Amino acid sequence: MRAYDLRPEPIILFNVAQTYRLEFSSEQALVYYKRFLAESKIAEDLRDEAQTYVAEIEAEQRAREEQKKLDATTGPRERDGTPVKVTAPPMDRPSPGRSVRPPGDTEGDPEDAATRGSGAVWSTKRKVALGVATGGALALVAGTVLGVSAKTKQSDAHALCSDPQVACDSSRQANDLVHSGHTLAIDANVAFGVGAAAAIAAGVLWFTGAPESHHAVTVVPSAASGQILVTAHGSF
């Protein structure tokens, strides 16, 4: 403060404090009021006035500190000390006949129920069952093709040599056709066996992979007279 440095009169400190107080800078005003009181030993009327201002400013500071503590524990308050009222934003009213469910609650929603039902049907086991069944179907198709080819070669061999007891000029070619047809027949039988096994496995996976609801199903594979059968007991 240049004026005070040039002429260190306590009255200058009082005037500076007054200026800060009128500008609502109470903290700065308090500093200069206290400096004035510390350095001024005369002018009792000004000292009394300065002490009054100091008491008022300190009381205001204590009140603000207490209000901060109160707000931190009970929330903001009005000037009269009552809590500030906070109203919740309006919520959409449900239309007649429609119930309101909490967020995330999809129980009872037809679309969600359909989605859940679809997901439940296609469990992991059932997806595997579908793949196994597809492989089994391909094996059965391959077995059918191989069986037809074997039958064709046998027919061609019979056409070359109709009577196996009688020698013919194309006996060697006929034997080759018979051998090839026999090999194809074996391959066809293997393919049919793989297809049948895949069908059984797919059936077991499909029924055991059903959702937990739910329905008890017993799958019993059996074989009789060269045929492979699968029997399912229960409801699904």
Report residue 205 as tokens: 């996976």
pLDDT of residue 99: 56
Please name the residue ranges forming H helices in 89-163.
Answer: 110-121, 124-160
Q: What angle do CA 141, 142, 145 make, to 5 degrees?
A: 90
Report residue 107 as tokens: 């129980």
Single-letter amino acid code for the residue at 178: V
CB of 217 closer than 8 Å to CB of 233: yes
Whole-number Å distance between alpha carbons of 190 and 210: 30
Per the DSSP assignment, residues forming a β-bridge with 232 are 219
Report residue 170 as tokens: 């194309």
Whole-number Å distance between alpha carbons of 177 and 213: 57
Domain coordinates of the chain in residue numbers?
Answer: 2-74, 122-234
Give 82's DSSP letter. P
pLDDT of residue 123: 80
**pLDDT by position in tens, the chain (length 236):** 676 666 678 888 889 999 999 988 999 999 999 998 998 877 788 889 999 999 999 999 999 888 888 878 776 667 776 777 767 666 656 555 555 555 555 555 555 555 555 555 678 878 888 898 899 899 888 889 888 888 898 788 778 777 666 667 777 777 888 888 889 889 989 988 888 898 898 888 878 877 765 455 565 666 555 566 656 655 55
| Cβ neighbours of residue 154 closer than 8 Å, sequence gap 6 or more | 177, 178, 181
Which residue's structure tokens are 């090839």? 180
pLDDT of residue 186: 93
CB of 52 closer than 8 Å to CB of 59: no
Helix (H) or strand (E) holding 87, with range, is none
Whole-number Å distance between alpha carbons of 235 and 9: 107
